[in-house]
C-alpha cells in the first residue's frame, strides 16, 4: 500500500531533480556562451596580432630585399654594406617564417577550440537529456502511485467499524495536507479531512474519568476543552515538527503578544514575564496541542490541570509520527 508520506517524499525529490535539470541546462548554455565569447575573443585578438606581426615581417623582408638589390648594383664600393644587409635580410626571413608559424598555430588553436566547445557542450546536453528522461519516468511512476492512493482513499467499501477505516481517514487527512502545500486545495478541505479522521478515531482516544470533577468539558470528539490564557496556530507545514519547535514558536508569539496587550501581560507574575522575555514557557503553564478542530491550535494552559486530565492531544493527530 502506497502511503501519502511516500508519495510526498517522491514528489519533493522530483521537484528538486527537475530544478537541477533546469539549472544544469541553463548553466550549460551560459558555459557555452562564455567559452565561445571570452576565449574566442582572446584567440581572435591573438590572431589579429599575429597577422599584424606577419605583415610587419613581410614589409621588413621586402625593404631589405630592395636594399640588397641596390647595394649589389653598387659593387665593389658597397661590399661592406651589402654583407650587413644580407645578414639582416636572412634574419628577417627567419623571423617571417616564425611569425607565419605563429599565425598558423593560432588559427589551428582557434579551430580546435571551437570543436572542443561543440563536442563537450553536446556531451553535456546528452547527459541532461538522459537525466531528464529519468525524472520524467519517475514523475510517471509517481502519477501511478497517486492513482493507486486515491483509489484507496476514496474506497467506500471499507467498513466503518474496521481498523482500516481509521487508517484510510488518517491517510486522507495527510493527502489533503499534501495537496494544500502544493496549492492544490484550500484550508477548508484540510479541516474537513481532519474532522473525518477524528470521527473515525474518537472512540479510541484516551479519556479522563475526572474531567467533569475538574470542570473540564469533553468535546464530541472525546477530547478536553481547556481554558487557555493564550492561543496561537501552528502552520500546516510545521505540523510534523518536534514539540520543542512548536513550544519555541509559541513562546515567541506570546512574547510579542504581551507587549501589545496589557490585559494579557497582567495575567503573569514578574518571574513569569522574565521567563517569557527569555523565550521560556512560564512556570505553571504547558503548551497544549489541542486535538479539537481546526488542527494546529496551541493553547497555554495550567500545567496541573493539563496533567490531571488524561487525554489524546493534537501532537499525535496533526501528522503521522514514527
0.75 surpassed by pTM: no
Phi/psi class of residue 111: alpha, beta or left (left: φ > 0; alpha: ψ in -120 to 50)?
alpha
Looking at residue 172, its pLDDT comes to 96
Work out the percent of the chain whose per-residue pLDDT is above 70. 97
State which residues of the chain have pLDDT below 50: none
CATH architecture of 4-152: Orthogonal Bundle (1.10)
Looking at residue 1, its pLDDT comes to 67
Dihedral angle over CA of 281, 282, 285, 286, nearest 10: 0
Give the three-state DSSP class for 214. coil
Evaluate the CA torsion angle 101, 102, 107, 112 in order and state its sign.
positive
CA separation for the pair 205, 199 (Å, rounded): 11
Looking at residue 31, its pLDDT comes to 73
Amino acid at each position: 500500500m502506497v502511503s501519502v508520506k511516500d508519495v510526498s517524499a517522491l514528489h519533493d525529490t522530483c521537484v528538486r531533480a527537475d530544478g537541477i535539470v533546469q539549472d544544469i541546462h541553463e548553466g550549460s548554455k551560459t558555459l557555452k556562451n562564455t567559452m565561445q565569447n571570452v576565449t574566442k575573443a582572446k584567440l581572435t585578438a591573438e590572431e589579429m596580432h599575429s597577422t599584424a606581426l606577419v605583415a610587419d615581417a613581410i614589409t621588413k623582408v621586402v625593404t631589405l630585399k630592395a636594399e640588397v638589390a641596390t647595394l649589389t648594383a653598387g659593387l665593389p664600393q658597397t661590399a661592406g654594406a651589402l654583407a650587413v644587409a644580407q645578414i639582416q635580410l636572412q634574419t628577417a626571413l627567419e623571423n617571417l617564417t616564425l611569425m607565419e608559424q605563429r599565425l598558423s598555430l593560432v588559427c589551428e588553436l582557434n579551430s580546435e577550440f571551437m570543436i572542443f566547445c561543440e563536442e563537450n557542450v553536446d556531451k553535456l546536453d546528452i547527459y541532461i537529456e538522459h537525466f531528464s528522461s529519468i525524472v520524467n519516468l519517475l514523475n510517471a511512476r509517481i502519477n501511478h502511485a497517486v492513482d493507486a492512493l486515491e483509489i484507496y482513499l476514496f474506497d467506500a467499501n471499507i467498513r466503518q467499524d474496521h481498523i482500516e477505516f481509521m487508517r484510510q481517514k488518517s491517510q486522507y487527512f495527510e493527502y489533503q495536507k499534501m495537496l494544500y502545500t502544493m496549492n492544490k486545495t484550500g484550508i477548508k478541505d484540510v479541516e474537513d479531512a481532519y474532522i473525518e479522521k477524528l470521527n473515525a478515531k474518537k472512540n479510541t482516544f484516551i479519556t479522563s474519568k475526572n474531567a467533569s470533577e475538574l470542570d473540564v468539558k469533553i468535546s464530541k470528539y472525546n477530547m478536553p476543552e481547556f481554558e487557555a490564557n493564550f492561543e496561537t496556530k501552528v502552520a500546516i507545514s510545521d505540523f510534523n515538527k518536534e514539540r520543542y519547535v512548536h513550544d519555541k514558536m509559541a513562546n515567541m508569539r506570546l512574547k510579542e503578544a504581551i507587549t501589545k496587550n496589557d490585559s494579557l501581560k497582567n495575567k503573569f507574575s514578574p518571574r513569569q514575564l522574565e521567563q517569557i522575555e527569555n523565550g521560556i514557557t512560564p512556570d505553571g503553564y504547558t503548551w497544549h496541542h489541542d486535538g479539537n478542530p481546526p488542527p494546529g491550535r496551541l493553547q497555554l494552559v495550567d500545567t496541573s490541570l493539563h496533567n490531571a486530565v488524561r487525554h489524546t492531544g493534537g501532537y499525535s493527530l496533526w501528522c503521522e509520527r514514527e
